Amino acid sequence: MTSLVGRSVVVRVPATSANLGPGFDTLGLALSHYDELIVTAVEGTGVTIVVTGVGAGIVATDESNLVIQAIQHCFTHFAQHLPALHVQANNIIPHGGGLGSSAAAIVSGVMAAKGLLAGIVEMDAATLLILATELEGHPDNVAPALLGGLTIAWSTETGPQAKKLIVHRGVSPLVCVPDSQVSTAHARSLQPETVPYADAVYNISRAALLIAALAQSPELLLEATGDRLHQDYRAAAMPQTTELIRMLRSHGHAAVVSGAGPSVLVLADDPARRLEAMALVKEHAAASWECLLLAVDFKGATVNEHQVEVTA
């Protein structure tokens, strides 16, 4: 059996925003806001984890850490022995903000496993998506985190599938992050089991239009981001988010809940309009919001060999 001791990889995974308004549990967008980690196979047993940035002193630093769980899941899937690991994680994706922090952790682990097992086990994009979705439960965030760009994700009898699309260069994302969190499980619990037929048709038309708006016609983004399936039902759980979205949309900006919230994603059709939206947030929003001027990430998650420094 090949010893992995001394192998070290550096992983970079983008934040993601799922749903994008009408594309509930289907559409996702990768954003230029990254968690990074270095994973090294070392002598001994167990894991050591050092976390800096978001979650430092809060997230688990033992085998229950989501990154470690994802690495272990991959090693078990391929019947490989997991060595002792040292992990250095630098997190900047907000936790509980609707920007795919759990998906980023899972994808980080899956990509780390891919890098550590390079030359022993080969993992293609389809396998990576399956492994990540098995842990996340749904592919709408892990797909853009893995692939980058705009992704359409769906499930089949043989597992999750995803298609990556290139986003029009004029699309300029703005993410507004509050200092509060919303549990994804709680947000999902507010969804009704059935919705009116007219609302279903409304969302189907807007989701189809949104693909066209993001790919070639950004001027249609306001109309294309209309939603009747999930945002109104979840409004009571995040009133400040709902208020901000209504204010921005009343001024012509394509604002939606990012994922399960409470962050707000604005899909501006050019950089100048994005600055207008940010000015509105700073001037009129009742709560304090951190505004992130981001780009669409087109590469998705990456893993590269990391050179371990050896001291004499």
- Establish whether 119 is an annotated binding residue: no
Beta strands in the chain (DSSP E): 8-19, 23-42, 47-53, 84-91, 150-156, 159-165, 172-177, 255-257, 264-268, 290-293, 302-305
- Establish whether 73 is an annotated binding residue: no
234, two tokens: 């979840």
SS3 content of the chain, % helix, strand, coil (to 5): 35, 25, 40
Opening angle at CA 306, ends 302 and 312, nearest 5:
170
- Establish whether 95 is an annotated binding residue: yes
- Establish whether 100 is an annotated binding residue: yes
- Establish whether 28 is an annotated binding residue: no
Residues linked to residue 39 through DSSP beta bridges, in sequence order: 9, 87
Neighbours of 284 (CB within 10 A): 12
Contact between 274 and 293 (Cβ < 8 Å) = yes
What is the number of H-type helices and E-type strands within the chain? Answer: 10, 11
Measured distance CA(223)–CA(231) in Å, rounded = 15
**257 phi, psi to nearest 5 deg:** -70, 135
Cα-Cα-Cα-Cα dihedral sign, residues 117, 120, 125, 126: negative
List b or e across 154-193, with b for residues whose CB sees 16 or more CB atoms inside 10 angstroms: eeeeeebbbebeebbeebbbbbbbbeeebebeebeeeeee
Q: How many Å from the N-terminal Cα to the C-terminal Cα in the chain?
A: 29
- Establish whether 96 is an annotated binding residue: yes
Tell me the three-class secondary structure of 91-140, residue by residue. ECCCCCCCCCHHHHHHHHHHHHHHHHCCCCCCCCHHHHHHHHHHHHCCCC
- Establish whether 259 is an annotated binding residue: no
Question: Per the annotation, where are the binding residues for ATP?
Answer: 94-104
Extract the annotated binding site. Answer: 94-104
